[in-house]
Amino acid sequence: MQSTTQTVPVSKTMLWVGRIMSALPVLLLLFSGVMKLMKPAPVVEGFVHLGYPAGLALGLGIIELACTVLYVIPRTSILGAVLLTGYLGGATATHLRIGEPFLMPIVLGVLVWGGLYLRDDRLRALIPLRS
């Protein structure tokens, strides 16, 4: 089956801006995921503060790392972005629930999608910005 969407070529500048925008949340999410796997005292205290049992850290760390890896792989980057949106939505809801600042997961989500939009012509063809 032939696709009818036309792709818009990526300029080198857009590609590099998109890569940099994507690298920021990737580095933060990889760090966060690894810390959840290692479970140092501050992570355990953070889970208790957020109202979650510390035993959830391992599972959440694996999910966070898996979604981030899917996002980094070009072929699965859109799926990774969708899954990261769900993960970050849960983080936003958790912070809202306890009355803490919730801007960071939203900013990470914007960077995830903004970086992907700039570096992936398939996404730009699917969601064209009109002037």
pLDDT in tens, 28-70: 999 999 999 999 999 999 999 999 999 999 999 999 999 999 9
pTM check: above 0.75: yes
What's the mean pLDDT when you consider all of the chain? 92
Q: Is the per-residue pLDDT at 71 higher than 90?
A: yes
Please name which of 130, 115, 96 lies closest in space to residue 10, comparing C-alpha atoms.
115
Q: If you ran DSSP here, which 8-state letter would residue 54 be given?
A: T
Domain definitions of the chain by residue range:
12-125
Q: Is the per-residue pLDDT at 2 higher than 60?
A: no
CA distances for 48 relative to 42, 44, 103, angstroms: 10, 6, 21
